[in-house]
Structure 1
Amino acid sequence: MSLPLPSFPFAQQAQMIRSNQRDLFQVSALREQTENVLRAWLGTRWLSRWDKEIEFLVKAGYYGLTIGAATQTLGEEYTGIWLRSTHDNRRPSPQLRAALILLPTLPSYVAARWGSSLSQDSKLQFLRNIPGILEVLSEVNLAIFYLRGTYYTLSRRLLGARYISSIPENPNARPPSYSLLGILLGVRLIYRLVTYLRSIGGQAEPAGGAKQTPDGTQETYVDDVPVSSFLGAPNPEGEPALPAEEDQRTALNIKQISEAQRAGRVCTLCLEERTASTATECGHLFCWNCIMGWGREKAECPLCRQSLTLTRLLPVYNL
């Protein structure tokens, strides 16, 4: 008489949450180590230019060596869960594994790399909206997960990949409930929807200092000067370096400064002598365009990695 095949229960919410948190930690640590090596080899400016590609390659590499090889990620191994296809209740096929790797990473990379550089009349203007759309869809999926307990990520829900657990269920223990988190997320989504409907319906008033420009866009003014004029070029990386002698945003006479002192005025992002010197909250000095370009991509100081808020940058005219 043959014994029945063992059946595995579906993974619990707590297992999936812990698994995802551990994977995020591992990816973050791997990216930090990769950036430290590349910064030492190629410099901070190169790293800031290719940071999106590095992030994409690190994520694709981590999940490619685990999910792509049909093995567990470190988070899945830690919590004892396995991916299974809901279509045939088997290990995900190579095509499904490739989709599980690319779907969470490729669209966000494409939108982050090319969305901000598109002109207003570009036919690919929709790329600008992809990050916001993905954020909302992910929150909707997360709310459903907290309420129903299935499919922690949007990509797994779309592809039909569900977790099973190698740990037997304990009939005497009641798993924790995350329904309250789902309800709170639902309330937040409803608020965002109402705010969006008000904005497109013309009920939301422009912020103080905002004016309508001839091309139909909103521009914010300070003392009748457009804020965009303070922000420099939209793409500082593509602008030629301004000689320090031509810097109009300094009280110093650059020509009278000794060569030894000027050697200490190098911006660590562009590796040129600083122009329009700007201080971060943590006290580090950069060119205005350099730190603005960096801050639009990463909200951290390039040197000490403390949080960076663009509205709190301080122009310095005597350094």
Structure 2
Amino acid sequence: MSTAELRYANQLEIIRSEEKDRYMISQLSKQLDELYTKLFGLNNFHIYQTYSHRLSEFLYYLTTTLSNRQTIGEEYICLIQYNPHKRQIPSLLHRLSMVFIRIFGDLISKYILSSYIIKPLVEEYFHPKLSLQTIELICKFLLTFIERTHKIFFYLTGSYYNISKSLTRIRYLIYTRTTSESSSIEFKLNRTMKFLSLCLCIQHIIESYLVLKQIALSITQHRQEIDKKTDEENKIISEDSISSTDHVRCPLCYEFAISNVALIPECGHVFCWQCIHTWVIENQTCPLCKTNTMQSRIVHLINY
């Protein structure tokens, strides 16, 4: 004996529908790529290819969901979009919000996370000059963490497969006939989904740990590079300030003449007192310009 009923779709039915839609979008994306190469060639194709999939998704949902029709996957499984809070079919604005979040939600989330959350926190608690690569790595980890966590909850509850549907509260109804075996099948399905959720949770924890180690290593390496570069710059600045203000580097020994500074009055060149005396005794000339001088002509500078 079987009876007909309208119920919420389970995990397997939603996944089958999503896989069908994903396949159709990929085929549409390939056709758009071929059309672009035929019209404009391969020039700059790699730049516009990243937008091809988003355009394919938009065109697909424009001709189905936004046109008040079922998608190929929904029609294949006989799924109906449903708003459980208002107990009615979602409005056009509701469906438009869902499609917009689904197509552009990752870009918006990435921008908000990197610009207003991750970057200020990194500058305050880690280092003010961390590389954009490290910030993007942290942003990608957070987005992946949220998506995988949401997917685990989907396998446990069967409510919302996509974050876009979770935010807009759009679920699926299905019209089926129930039999005496339906309860046992439902029980086996729930047990399988719980086991799958456990496996995904373990995988999620391991991969999150590995990515966090990679992020920590990247932050540490970058901080060391920045600190090393800063120390070198400060050392160069301090040496320049010493050479330009307090001390003079002797052209003969290349050391700083701190107190014993000697001047050749004929040409104005400055040396260490000991170096220039040793030189003049043997050569009677300036080491730099060869101007004739004498040991008695050398001037000892005080407080130079």
Q: Same fold (TM over 0.5)?
A: yes
Q: Quick one: structure 1 residues 131 and 60, their matched pair in 2 at CA, closer, same or farther if it must change by over 3 Å? A: farther
> Secondary structure at 1:82's aligned position in 2?
strand
Q: Distance in 1 between matches of 2:26 and 2:144?
A: 19
Cα deviation digits, residues 99-135 of structure 1 (max 9, x gap): 110101113346789x99x9x7899x97775544332
Q: Out of 160, 164, 171, which is 1:155 matched to?
A: 164
Which of 36, 40, 43 in structure 2 is aligned with 1:45?
43
Answering whether residue 76 of structure 2 is matched by residue 78 of structure 1, we say yes
- Output the aligned Cα RMSD: 3.8
Residue number in structure 1 paired with 2:194: 179
Task: Determine the C-alpha separation between the residues in 2 that align with 1:216 and 1:152.
Answer: 48
**Aligned match of 1:164:** 173
Over 3 Å counting, the alpha-carbon distance change for 1:215 and 1:104 in structure 2 is farther
Secondary structure in 1 aligned to 2:177?
Answer: coil
**Could you say what secondary structure the match of 1:70 adopts?**
coil
1:197 & 1:32 partners in 2: Cα distance? 35
1:74-102 Cα offsets, whole Å, 9 max, x none, are 00100111110121121111121011101
- The code of the aligned residue for 1:78 comes to Y
> 2:159 is matched by which residue type in structure 1?
T
Show CA shifts across 1:265-297 (max 9, x none): xxxxxxxxxxxxxxxxxxxxxxxxxxxxxxxxx
Please say if residues 141 and 211 of structure 2, whose CA atoms lie closer than 8 Å, have aligned partners that are also in contact.
no
Determine if the alignment matches structure 1 residue 189 to structure 2 residue 204: yes
Q: CA deviation at 1:197?
A: 5.5
Give the counterpart letter for 1:191 in structure 2.
I
1-structure distance, mates of 2:139, 2:88: 32
Where do 5+ consecutive residues of structure 2 fail to align? 120-128, 230-304
TM-score by length of 1: 0.55
Q: Deviations over 1:142-164 (max 9, x none)?
A: 11111122211121112111100
Residues 1:213 and 2:230 aligned together: no
1:105-144 matches, cutoff 5 A: 105-109=103-107, 130-144=139-153
Secondary structure of the residue that 2:76 maps to in structure 1? helix
Which of the pair is proportionally richer in helix? 2
CA distance in 2, matches of 1:52, 1:110: 16
Equivalent of 1:65, from 54, 63, 66? Answer: 63
Unaligned runs of 5+ in 1: 1-5, 218-319
1:314 maps to: none
Which residue number in structure 2 is paired with residue 267 of structure 1? none
CA deviation string 1:135-194 (max 9, x = no partner): 222211111111122211121112111100022333413133322211111112222444
Query: In structure 1, what residue type is equivalent to 2:202?
Result: V
Aligned residues: 206
User: Is this contact kept in 2: 1:138–1:154, CA < 8 A?
Assistant: yes
1:145 to 143, 146, 154: 154
Out of 20-29 and 40-49, give the one that drifted further.
40-49
Opposite residue 213 of structure 1, the aligned amino acid is E
For residues 130 and 62 of structure 1, do their structure 2 counterparts lie closer, same or farther at Cα, with a shift above 3 Å needed?
Answer: farther
Letter in 2 for 1:28: S
**CA distance in structure 1 between the aligned counterparts of 2:93 and 2:137, rounded to whole angstroms:** 28
Distance 1:122 1:210 in 2: 7
CA contact (8 A) 2:26 2:53 kept: no
User: d(CA) in 2 for partners of 1:27 and 1:216?
Assistant: 49
